[in-house]
């Protein structure tokens, strides 16, 4: 019988803490456990500490997970809670993504200071974003705009916008909703025109492969449609060697036992892009994502990827 509290590792931002609390609350409800049976352990990651440079210059997504995963592997943590889109496609040996919570809204939210819609910004206006995918999609829709790097936590980016450092910025609507900031967006972007990042809007839980007790508890809160959809999207990303250095979009959804996937790759300047769509059984999610990634890579040809390096 468990006598010590389960230790949940997380980053310290308000959004990361909201995600950790949701995970704890779902585990409490699923197993009738008291709040005292959980301890939320806040860890600082390199990605949190360095905010003045693009992630691509620093080494990519692992910057938000390495310190947490080290303590998970050592046994100092029992589980870790992450934003799924921050996770590298290759995890440290002995760790895996054991559960996904029900997915939030996948759309990107535009927050406009000088115009409410991205398409209505004046010629040459400045838009801030830290995501290469968003930067490329902005340039695809509005090549006249000045796109700058905007990093930091949600409130930091909103403060920069209020100070006039940009005319608009984009954030994941899922994160704004989890923070209760429902009225912040001035426009919600249609995924058909502005497709989300793979795994956007999904909270994932990472644990040790050999921790049967913990993995059994987590199985009770795993949302299978989200698990299958994100598995497909991450397989697409892996087939393209995707990281923070590459503009890749991908979105899968399960309807019953059928899964539909759409993906896009872009050059960083947004001038060229390729799209793909595949369908199949939800149980074949990883294979569908991998096949989509290989097919779009072949479609684009080797020259397309020269601009990614």
Structural domain of 230: 224-309
**Model confidence over 214-262: pLDDT tens digits?**
999 999 999 999 999 999 999 999 999 865 578 999 999 999 999 999 9
CATH of the domain at 306: 3.30.160.40
Q: Tokens at residue 101, please?
A: 């919570």
Strands 248-255, 258-266: pairing kind: antiparallel
Coil, strand or helix at 192: coil
**Positions marked catalytic:** 86
Q: What is the per-residue pLDDT for 1?
A: 59
Shared domain for 182 and 233, answered yes or no, is no
Indicate left, alpha or beta for 299 from its phi (over 0: left) and psi (-120 to 50: alpha): alpha
- Residue 150 domain-assigned (yes or no): yes
- Residue 74 domain-assigned (yes or no): yes
- Count how many domains the chain has: 3
40 within 8 A of 21, measured Cβ to Cβ: yes
Section 165-179 average pLDDT: 96
Buried b (16+ CB within 10 A) or exposed e, 78-115: bbbbbbbbbbbbeeeeebebbbbbebbbbbbbbbbbeb
Shared domain for 10 and 48, answered yes or no, is yes
Shared domain for 53 and 91, answered yes or no, is yes
Q: What is the per-residue pLDDT for 166?
A: 96
Q: Tokens at residue 124, please?
A: 């040459």
Section 109-130 average pLDDT: 96
CATH of the domain at 155: 3.40.190.10
61 within 8 A of 87, measured Cβ to Cβ: yes
What percentage of the chain reaches a pLDDT higher than 70? Answer: 91
pTM (2 d.p.): 0.91
Please state, in angstroms and as integers, the Cα–Cα distance from residue 115 to each residue in 110, 119, 160, 187, 191, following that order. Answer: 10, 9, 16, 10, 20
- Calculate the dihedral angle through the C-alpha atoms of 223, 229, 234, 237, rounding to the nearest 10 degrees: -160
């Amino acid at each position: 019988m468990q006598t010590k509290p389960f230790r949940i590792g997380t980053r310290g931002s308000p959004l990361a803490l909201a995600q950790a609390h949701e995970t704890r609350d779902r585990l409490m409800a699923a197993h009738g456990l008291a709040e005292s049976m959980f301890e939320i352990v806040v860890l600082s990651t390199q990605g949190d500490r360095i905010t003045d440079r693009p992630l691509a210059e620093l080494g990519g997504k692992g910057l938000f997970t390495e310190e947490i995963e080290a303590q998970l592997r050592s046994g100092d943590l029992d589980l870790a809670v992450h934003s799924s889109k921050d996770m590298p496609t290759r995890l440290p040996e002995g760790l895996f993504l054991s559960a996904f919570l029900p997915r939030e809204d996948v759309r990107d939210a535009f927050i406009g200071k000088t115009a409410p819609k991205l398409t209505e910004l004046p010629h040459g206006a400045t838009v801030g974003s830290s995501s290469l995918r968003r930067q490329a999609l902005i340039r695809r829709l509005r090549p006249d705009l000045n796109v700058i790097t905007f990093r930091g936590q949600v409130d930091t980016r909103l403060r920069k916008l209020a100070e006039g450092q940009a005319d608009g910025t984009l954030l994941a609507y899922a994160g704004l909703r989890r923070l209760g900031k429902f009225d912040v967006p001035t426009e919600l972007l249609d995924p058909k025109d502005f497709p989300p990042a793979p795994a956007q809007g999904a909270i994932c839980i990472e644990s040790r492969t050999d921790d049967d007790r913990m993995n059994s508890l987590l199985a009770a809160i795993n949302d299978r449609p989200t698990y299958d959809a994100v598995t497909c999207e991450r397989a697409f990303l892996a087939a393209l060697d995707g990281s923070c250095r590459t503009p890749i979009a991908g979105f899968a959804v399960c309807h019953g036992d059928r899964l539909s996937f759409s993906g896009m790759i872009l050059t960083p300047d947004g001038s060229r892009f390729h799209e793909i769509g595949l369908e199949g059984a939800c149980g074949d999610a990883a294979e569908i994502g991998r096949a989509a990634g290989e097919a779009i890579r072949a479609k684009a040809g080797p020259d397309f990827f020269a601009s990614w390096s």
